[in-house]
A and B are shown apart, each in its own frame.
Chain A
Amino acid sequence: MARARRALGQVELIGFMPIILMTVGCLVILLVVNTVIIISNPENIRITSVIRGALYEPGRRTGLETGAPFPFGNREKEPVYFDVHPEHIVLYPGKVRVTLGDLLVPGNPLERMLDLVEQHKDAYYVVILARPQTARLTRKLRKLVQARGIDLGFELFEAEREVEYKPSGRTLILGKKE
């Protein structure tokens, strides 16, 4: 009688053990994933990148579109983009359109942007997006940027390609100053 009571009062927990072990396994995987995400960008630096892949081929999946471009590239400074078209330049942040005629006027938006970047060149730099038929214009722009001691990046950007610009917090600050 006593043995039967004991048997009734005792809960068998052995079956619960595999469940606990599997839970621990899943939790460890989750922990590893979280850690990898944190390690990839430990200081949570945010920079604005409009080029997200090493390749751009419309209508064709190459597998490299999402592969990190610029293995020797910048990971610290905030880029200011000059999207150079044959007849005008678009400045990001702000999406300010500057025509070639505007460039002749002293104090034009491009000059103002360069002044601003020059003042904060430890935190900002210029990336030129060169569309086709802009070789001479981009060469002049590069000289202009380098003469001010501002760091420079350069990318060839297809004529039809859209600039998908989502500014980070730091760029917004620069945009407001401008």
Chain B
Amino acid sequence: MAKRTRGASVRLDSFLDIMTCLVGVLVLIIMLTGIDAAQIQVLIPTPLGHATDRRQIIIECRNNMLYRIALDKIREKAVEALDEISDEAGGDMIKVMQLLAERRVRVGGYELDLTHALSGHVALVPVPGEEGYALRSIETETPDKWFGRILAHLDPKEEMLTFLVRDDSYAVFKRARALAWQKKIEVAYELLDARDVIRFGPGGELVLAQ
């Protein structure tokens, strides 16, 4: 019985030799790769703008809050208002100018200033006291919340986010941008002074995505 047990046992000496050789080879490779790896620095990308033809979804960062600028709706309302003014003035250009300067059209948290509408420019005046969305934490921003919903519905291949950032709103902008980047959404941003007017129309600058 004891003989049978001895006969069934496997001789592992040769396997041990192979393993020992393997350890030696691995140590050698690790030494070589270690020397290489020690010289390598972690590459942190730096900002670089590039032109893009993606459709822009525009968000203003003001009072450390986010406000969406619905450009399509603004254009639609502006055209409606211009048609009304044209009808009211009945071809009298002085009256047209007067009505353009006086007329205020509200779209969301903004009023449209049509003073320069004849040159194709529409200015947006923020409505005082209008509350935006305070994105306080990126951890708690889920797709059922205001900004999370925008991100969830955005197609990164076709659309991008453009932020118009006021001086007082760097923090909320960076939170929003970090969330967008997490979803691989391209982001462009423009710095605005506190009193800068947001103006849309021909002759603007090309916004570079980053």
Please state if A47 and B13 are interface contacts (CB–CB under 8 Å). no
Given known A40-B43, A134-B191, A154-B208, contact A125–B48 (CB-CB < 8 A) = yes
Shortest A65–chain B CB gap in Å is: 10
Please state if B47 and A136 are interface contacts (CB–CB under 8 Å). no
Distance of A23 Cα from B30 Cα, bound (Å): 13
Which A residues are in CB contact (< 8 Å) with B193?
A: 133, 135-136
- Of A20, A44, A67, A156, most buried by chain B (CB within 10 Å of CB) is A156
Please state if B192 and A135 are interface contacts (CB–CB under 8 Å). yes
Distance of A121 Cα from B68 Cα, bound (Å): 37
Which A residues are in CB contact (< 8 Å) with B210?
A: 70, 72-73, 153-154
Given known A38-B37, A57-B171, contact A152–B16 (CB-CB < 8 A) = no
Please state if A62 and B138 are interface contacts (CB–CB under 8 Å). yes
Please state if B23 and A133 are interface contacts (CB–CB under 8 Å). no
Task: Select B189's contact among A48, A74, A156, beta carbons within 8 Å.
Answer: A156
How many of chain B's residues touch chain A, expressed as a range? 35 or more
B146 at the interface (CB under 8 A from A): no
Please state if B33 and A64 are interface contacts (CB–CB under 8 Å). no
Please state if B19 and A153 are interface contacts (CB–CB under 8 Å). no
Shortest B164–chain A CB gap in Å is: 10
Residue of A nearest to B22 (CB): A24
Which B residues are in CB contact (< 8 Å) with A30?
A: 30, 34
A110 at the interface (CB under 8 A from B): no
Distance of A156 Cα from B49 Cα, bound (Å): 13
Which B residues are in CB contact (< 8 Å) with A151?
A: 48-49
Q: Which residues 50-81 of A have a CB within 8 angstroms of B?
A: 51-52, 54-57, 62, 64, 67-75, 77, 79
Cβ-Cβ contact count across A and B, 8 Å cutoff: 159
A147 at the interface (CB under 8 A from B): no
Please state if B22 and A153 are interface contacts (CB–CB under 8 Å). no
A1 at the interface (CB under 8 A from B): no
Please state if A51 and B191 are interface contacts (CB–CB under 8 Å). no
Which B residues are in CB contact (< 8 Å) with A38?
A: 33, 36-37, 40
A2 at the interface (CB under 8 A from B): no
Shortest B193–chain A CB gap in Å is: 4
Please state if A72 and B30 are interface contacts (CB–CB under 8 Å). no
Q: Which residues 30-45 of A have a CB within 8 angstroms of B?
A: 30-31, 33-35, 37-38, 40-41, 44-45
- Report 9 cross-chain contacts, Cβ distance below 8 Å, ordered by A residue: A17-B12, A20-B16, A20-B19, A24-B19, A38-B40, A41-B43, A47-B43, A135-B193, A154-B210
Known: A47-B46, A135-B196. 17 other contacts (CB 8 A): A17-B12, A24-B22, A38-B40, A55-B174, A57-B174, A64-B178, A72-B50, A73-B48, A74-B45, A75-B43, A132-B167, A135-B192, A136-B193, A151-B49, A153-B49, A154-B208, A156-B170
Where the two chains meet, the residues of A that have a C-beta atom closer than 8 Å to any C-beta of B are 13-14, 16-17, 20-21, 23-24, 27-28, 30-31, 33-35, 37-38, 40-41, 44-49, 51-52, 54-57, 62, 64, 67-75, 77, 79, 125, 127, 130, 132-136, 138-139, 151-156, 158
Where the two chains meet, the residues of B that have a C-beta atom closer than 8 Å to any C-beta of A are 12-13, 15-16, 19-20, 22-23, 26-27, 29-30, 33-34, 36-37, 39-50, 138-139, 165, 167-168, 170-171, 173-175, 177-178, 181, 184, 186, 189, 191-193, 196, 205, 208-210
